[in-house]
């Protein structure tokens, strides 16, 4: 039995990485894919930071199952995710909306977890993380409403504007229905 890749998308500040870590803590065996990104590691996100040259070398070597460019950076999903899925384990990865159709073509059973939150919640979270200016936050909020590509087979949309426990329960119900009930 092949595992399923779940691509997590949503606007900046919606809590993609926080939700992924919380879901993994409640779903034994779920693999969180560690992306490769052409920016320095910052300690707040789990990714491997590499130079543009190193990224290009890895891409040419076929080290990525999927890679793309966004916001002046390159992003890659290590090809090792294929082995994880072949072992029957599901995996979750933070993706760009722009590569969802490509991911669906590459990974059988691919599903999308689309996280949302009200604009005021996004603005507050972005301000708290302290990485962007007010103008940059405004631009990120303008992009928050971008639609997903049409025709994706499996998309589950969950509002992460409230409590994390509620979001995790909804994600587990949608993607891991055979689990034993999680006890508090």
Q: For the chain, what is the total number of helices (H) and then of strands (E)? A: 7, 9
- Residue 93 annotated as lining a ligand binding site: no
Q: Annotated binding residue at 80?
A: no
Cα separation, 93 vs 91, in Å, equals 7
Token pair, residue 137, equals 């936050």
Tokens of residue 9, six digits: 């998308």
Is 11 marked as a binding-site residue?
Answer: yes
Give the DSSP H/E element, type plus range, for residue 102. helix 100-106
Q: Is 88 annotated as a binding residue?
A: no
Q: How far is CA 127 from the centre of its chain?
A: 21
For residue 161, the tally of other CB atoms under 10 A from its CB is 18
| 16 known member of a binding site | yes
- Output the six-digit token pair for 83: 């082995």
Cβ-contact 65, 106 below 8 angstroms: yes
13 is in an annotated binding site: yes
- Residue 8 makes CB contacts below 8 A (sequence gap 6+) with 16, 19, 20, 92, 93, 94, 95, 112, 113, 115
**163 marked among binding-site residues:** no
Q: Is 17 annotated as a binding residue?
A: yes
Provide the annotated binding site for ATP: 10-17
Provide the annotated binding site: 10-17
């Amino acid at each position: 039995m092949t595992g399923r890749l779940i691509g997590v998308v949503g606007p900046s500040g919606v809590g993609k990485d926080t939700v992924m870590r919380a879901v993994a803590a409640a779903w034994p065996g779920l693999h969180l894919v560690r992306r490769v990104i052409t920016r320095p590691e910052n300690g707040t996100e789990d990714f491997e930071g590499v130079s543009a040259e190193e990224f290009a070398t890895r891409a040419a070597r076929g080290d990525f199952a999927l890679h793309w460019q966004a916001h002046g950076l390159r992003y890659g999903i290590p090809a090792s995710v294929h082995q994880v899925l072949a072992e029957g384990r599901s995996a979750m990865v933070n993706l760009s909306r722009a590569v969802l159709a490509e991911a669906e073509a590459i990974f059988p059973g691919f599903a999308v977890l689309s996280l949302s939150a009200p604009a005021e919640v996004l603005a507050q979270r972005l301000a708290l993380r302290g990485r962007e200016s007010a103008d940059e936050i405004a631009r990120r909020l303008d992009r928050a409403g971008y639609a997903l590509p049409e025709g994706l087979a499996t998309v589950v949309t969950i509002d992460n504007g409230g409590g994390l426990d509620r979001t995790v329960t909804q994600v587990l119900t949608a993607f891991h229905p055979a689990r034993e009930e999680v006890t508090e």
